[in-house]
């Protein structure tokens, strides 16, 4: 039995998307400000209207990207009858690791 979990649906925004957009709206202008201070040689010569435009642009760019992103989904497969996952190793013998540097080590 498979269960499908939607991580993100197209044309919808979650609270996480809004928070990430605000984060980008703070980080990108901070980098532009640092670059302006380095180029201008002082804090008095910074173009604050440019920084405001960069902040608004970075927020809108991230929100638009998240809106246009296709739907993401994850299929979760139930492996055992009790609802948990199966703890078998499926033939992977973890007690017989290959020696370091030996790619020809046989698996048992």
Per-residue model confidence as pLDDT tens digits over 4-47: 676 777 788 888 889 999 999 999 999 988 988 888 888 887 88
Indicate the pLDDT class of residue 64, thresholds 50, 70 and 90: very high
Looking at residue 105, its pLDDT comes to: 60
**pTM of this structure:** 0.58
User: Which DSSP string do the residues of 37-101 spell out, in sequence order?
Assistant: HHHHSSGGG--HHHHHHHHHHHHHHHHHHHHHSPPEEEEEE--STTSS-----TT--TTSPPPTT
Indicate the pLDDT class of residue 73, thresholds 50, 70 and 90: confident
């Amino acid at each position: 039995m498979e269960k499908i979990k939607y991580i993100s649906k197209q044309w919808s925004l979650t609270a996480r998307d809004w928070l990430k957009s605000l984060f980008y709206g703070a980080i990108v202008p901070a980098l532009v400000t640092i670059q302006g201070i380095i180029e201008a040689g002082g804090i008095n010569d910074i173009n604050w209207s440019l920084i405001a435009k960069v902040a608004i642009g970075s927020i809108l760019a991230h929100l638009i990207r998240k809106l246009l992103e296709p739907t993401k989904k994850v299929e979760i497969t139930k492996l055992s009858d009790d609802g948990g996952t199966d703890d078998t190793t499926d033939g992977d013998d973890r007690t017989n690791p290959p020696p370091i540097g030996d790619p020809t080590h046989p698996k048992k």
